[in-house]
Amino acid sequence: MKSIVAAFILLGFSISFGQIYEFDKSVSIKNTSEIIENKYFNSLSFMNENERSYAFFVTDENNGVIRDEKNRMLHFFEFSNSQNNSYQFEYKYSIKMMNGKEFNKELYEITKNTETEFIIKKFRNERKKNIDYEFIVNIEKSDFNFLFVPFEKSIENSFQIVDLIGQELNTKENYQISFFEFKNCKSRMEILEVDKFRIALPNKLVIY
């Protein structure tokens, strides 16, 4: 996976026909526990610091998907390395996403354990009796401010959850999340600034 990150950092390229997605951050998640590995705890994605509605997720060595929550679409791509060490993206097809639930901050509870550790709980209702899930996250200072953990499938919801953590932090400092724990699995997160690259859609989409 490291080689994929390096290649994307060097140069990302796609045929420019339709809507263009731009990326400037890589988010790498690596399992550090002894529990059997799960894709959720070992993943690579690319995001745009200024646009929280979409992300590009690498699904395997040569395939990835753009999740566009503003337009409620999934766009699938195949990519390959060319001779000049750049990646070419070939659009395959798209799938319409079902409408998701609106974010309700009343379902979440943020507890600050230490200056660098937080517990995030989501409850099934606003009475906060039954827990839906619980995360432990550790933060560290960073050269840039970019907080993200895939708490939920929705990218936008996950960002809104970390915004609740951000409210507890010193706004004069920059932070990123270094580790998170979920269901006894611990993963290290590494967020890097990358040279901006773009992936474009063709004018005519193949929609299923």
Note whether 108 and 95 are within 8 A (CB). no
Q: What DSSP designation does 203 have? A: S
pTM comes to 0.86
Note whether 59 and 37 are within 8 A (CB). no
Which residues have CB under 8 Å from 205's CB, separation 6+? 18, 75, 93, 94
Residue 130 forms beta bridges with which residues?
Answer: none
Helix (H) or strand (E) holding 156: helix 155-166
Secondary structure, 3-state, 76-113: EEEEEECCCCCEEEEEEEEEECCCCCCCCHHHEEEEEC
Residue type, 32: T
Note whether 62 and 48 are within 8 A (CB). no
Residue 189 forms beta bridges with which residues?
Answer: 29
Distance between CA atoms of residues 24 and 193, nearest Å = 6
Q: What DSSP designation does 37 have? A: P
Note whether 184 and 35 are within 8 A (CB). yes
Q: What is the largest CA-CA distance in the chain?
A: 58
pLDDT at 36: 57
Q: Of 149, 208, 194, give the one whose Cα is nearest residue 23.
A: 194
pLDDT at 38: 57
Distance between CA atoms of residues 47 and 28, nearest Å = 11
Q: What is the pLDDT along the chain (208 residues), one digit of tens a residue?
A: 444 554 454 344 444 468 999 999 999 999 887 765 555 568 899 999 999 999 999 998 899 999 999 999 999 999 886 656 567 889 999 999 998 889 999 999 999 999 999 999 999 999 998 999 999 999 999 999 999 999 999 999 999 999 999 999 988 999 999 999 998 888 999 999 999 999 999 999 999 9
Give the torsion through C-alpha atoms of 7, 73, 155, 202, to 10 deg: 30
How big is the CA angle at 67 (ends 64 and 70), to the nearest 5 degrees? 160
